[in-house]
């Protein structure tokens, strides 16, 4: 073999450990990044589930408030408020209050 080929083979042998080291470091960084991304994904999935549960709760609350609003516009509700808070009664109605001891 010529001197050139021997020199080139020796240089290739010296560069191989450096390339292997870089590949190992790259794999380690990639593995760590994958692990942290999986953790973030799990945390975000938990937050999403909690937010979806909260949305469902708020939607139910909205429905309840809409029903209450409809009820508050009825004559029955107005009569109840007039009797309980204002003490009003119909002209032919007799109010009997319990004795407070």
Instruction: Quote the distance between the C-alpha of residue 10 and its chain's center.
Output: 59
pLDDT at residue number 94: 78
Q: Cα-flanking dihedrals φ and ψ of residue 98, to 5°?
A: -70, 150
Q: Where residue 52 falls among pLDDT bands split at 50, 70, 90?
A: very high
Q: Where residue 93 falls among pLDDT bands split at 50, 70, 90?
A: confident
Residue 71: CB partners within 8 Å, gap ≥ 6?
77
pLDDT at residue number 90: 82
Alpha-carbon distance 29 to 36, whole Å?
A: 11
Instruction: Indicate the pTM of the whole model.
Output: 0.55
């Amino acid at each position: 073999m010529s001197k050139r080929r021997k020199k080139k083979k020796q240089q290739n042998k010296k560069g191989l450990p450096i390339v292997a080291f870089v590949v190992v470091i790259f794999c380690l960084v990639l593995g760590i990044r994958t692990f942290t991304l999986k953790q973030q994904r799990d945390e975000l999935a938990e937050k999403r589930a909690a937010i979806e549960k909260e949305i469902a709760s708020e939607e139910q609350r909205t429905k309840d408030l809409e029903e209450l609003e409809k009820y508050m516009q009825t004559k029955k509700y107005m009569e109840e408020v007039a009797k309980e808070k204002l003490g009003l009664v119909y002209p032919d109605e007799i109010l009997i209050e319990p004795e407070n001891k």
